[in-house]
Amino acid sequence: MATLVLTTLLVGATAQDIYFVENSHIIPGNVNFWKFDGKNATKLGVLDTTGTRDFVSSATICGDLYIAAWDVYPSAFGIAVARISTGEHEINPTDYLIHAIACHPTLNNTVFAVGSQPGTKHAQFTLQLVDLAAGNDTVVGTFPTPKEEIFEGWDTIFQFSDDRSEIYAAFGKKNIVFPSNPTSSDLFVMDTASGQVKDSYTVNGQLEGGALYSVFDGLKRAVTVDTQHTPFKLSWADLKCGPKKKCTLHRTGDDTVEWTEGKPFAVCGDSLYAITKDLQSSAANPLYHSSISTGKTQEVIDLSKFIKAENEVGAIAVAC
């Protein structure tokens, strides 16, 4: 395994292990699997030698397993499973495009996944239980599809609670004046054991940062996105959900630097990690760390220091 060492001092360096995929922009090309420990980056293996698969969505760490969503959109999609200790991996196809993945809290070799089937008039999102050993999946529940809903293609709108007992889904709602620029959201809370939607809320962000980009454990904090700005403007916000099926937002700070183009955040407790889009350099892949509770954000490192300049980082996961 090749290890690259950064000798300069890192800004906001993390002691947590971060795992990510180096996506190839050349066909054929290697899709590499990496570990970054806050100082050194180590290539753990090669997940694909064709360069056709994109790993730009969700990933998670379950013990010694790194599990990530991949796609060759819109013709093929699936889940990759790599053993961290050896680099051995499997590429498994699925019938669904995967948007979010989380370890099952009690079952080994089993994950929760949020999936959809592209090509339908209105994508239907389901929570599934995926048995990695048997290679099969079971639909646990289905999210509602409101008429005014907009799915912007951002997988950040799906977020599991810390104990994986709930999955949050925050769909943007069409704006009457600007239909393609949502300023409010429908927020659903699904119980992962039963698949039942236990709560649903309307969240108006018109004056407090825009639609929901992501929400976090306990529905106390959120990141919002204002698409009427160029570039899009992200904000940290306090979230308060009441008994009348409505949530209010209070903007607490700017978070535009963590615009990820919809790539999911990696979350561990109060820590959030984001692979962001550098608007000044298409070759840059900066990694940021934030405190969810305070919104304090620091750049950790530009991961482009370790990968080929033309390639793209995705499928970030943190060992929690």
Domain enclosing residue 196, as ranges: 149-262
**What φ, ψ does residue 204 adopt, rounded to 5°?**
-95, 115
Q: How far is the C-alpha of 125 from the C-alpha of 145, rounded, in Å?
A: 8
Whether 219 is in a domain gets the answer yes
Q: How far is the C-alpha of 119 from the C-alpha of 213, rounded, in Å?
A: 24
Contacts of 158 (CB under 8 A, 6+ apart): 58, 99, 100, 114, 125, 167, 168, 169, 264
Mean pLDDT along residues 81-106? 95
Contacts of 310 (CB under 8 A, 6+ apart): 25, 26, 283
Percent of the chain with pLDDT over 90: 75
Q: How far is the C-alpha of 32 from the C-alpha of 48, rounded, in Å?
A: 7
The number of domains in the chain is 1
Burial bucket for residue 262 (CB in 10 Å: 0-12, 13-18, 19+) = middle
Q: How far is the C-alpha of 132 from the C-alpha of 252, rounded, in Å?
A: 41
Residue 244: how many other CB atoms lie within 10 Å: 8
The answer to whether residue 90 scores a pLDDT higher than 60 is: yes
Contacts of 244 (CB under 8 A, 6+ apart): none
> What 3 state SS string does 192-239 have?
CCCCCEEEEEEEECCCCCCEEEEECHHHCEEEEEECCCCCCEEEEEEE
The pLDDT confidence band at residue 178, using thresholds 50, 70 and 90, is: low
Q: How far is the C-alpha of 141 from the C-alpha of 155, rounded, in Å?
A: 18
* Residue showing tokens 């060992």: 319
Write the single-letter amino acid at 272. Answer: L
Residue 121 has what pLDDT?
Answer: 63
Whether 241 is in a domain gets the answer yes
Contacts of 10 (CB under 8 A, 6+ apart): 38, 39, 300, 301
Residue 119 has what pLDDT?
Answer: 60
Whether 85 is in a domain gets the answer no
Whether 229 is in a domain gets the answer yes
186 has which bridge partners?
A: 171, 202
pLDDT tens sequence across 302-315: 999 999 988 999 99
Residue 164 has what pLDDT?
Answer: 97
Q: How far is the C-alpha of 187 from the C-alpha of 184, rounded, in Å?
A: 10
Burial bucket for residue 64 (CB in 10 Å: 0-12, 13-18, 19+) = exposed
**Is the CB of residue 56 less than 8 Å from the CB of residue 68?**
no
Tokens of 191: 């119980």
Whether 139 is in a domain gets the answer no
**Is the CB of residue 313 less than 8 Å from the CB of residue 275?**
yes
What one-character DSSP code corresponds to residue 54?
Answer: B
Residue 265 has what pLDDT?
Answer: 98
Whether 5 is in a domain gets the answer no
Whether 194 is in a domain gets the answer yes
Whether 165 is in a domain gets the answer yes
Asked, as a colleague might, if the bond just before 28 is cis with ω within 30 of 0, I would say yes
Q: How far is the C-alpha of 233 from the C-alpha of 223, rounded, in Å?
A: 10
Rg (CA), the chain: 19
Please work out, in degrees rounded to the nearest 5, the angle formed at the alpha carbon of residue 56 by the alpha carbons of 53 and 60.
105
pLDDT tens sequence across 119-144: 666 678 999 999 998 888 999 999 99
pLDDT tens sequence across 69-85: 999 988 899 999 999 99
Residue 10 has what pLDDT?
Answer: 37
114 has which bridge partners?
A: 100, 127
